Copies of this chain bind each other. A is one copy, B any other.
């Protein structure tokens, strides 16, 4: 596989491939560490649950899926031991979903792996270029979404 293969690719494809590359590596490593039952969406869900817990509705809005879909995902994560549902302190209708100890371990592992990946990318293109890359992507995401009231570009992983 030569670099020329990629050189004519449009930006969207490049973003797609680079995202796939990093997310695949993240989950390969998580699997090695014993977190084989976590799928890409869960990682993003965890970000919303940590550090203070979240309600089903909050998660649904955050992920851009229905509350019913969230409920099923929480069923799965609860069964797998990553989260538990607690009663909401003030609203007797509601539940609040919080991370278990195992959930926190997964979050910590995820962060460490992402740092490792980023570190390796720094070794390839250098600190300055990686910072520019992050800055530019941040700017572009910001510009594309500033007019929208809700953040439509749901991150899927």
Contacts and interface: CB of A to CB of B under 8 A. Distances in A.
A90 interface: no
B140 A18 contact: yes
B140 A124 contact: yes
Contacts of A9: 138
Contact of A114 (B12, B141, B152, B155): B12
A13 interface: yes
Nearest to A114: B10
Interface string A116-157: 011001001100011011101111111111101001111111
Interface string A22-63: 111110000000000000000010000000000000000000
A145 B6 CA distance: 11
B3 A142 contact: yes
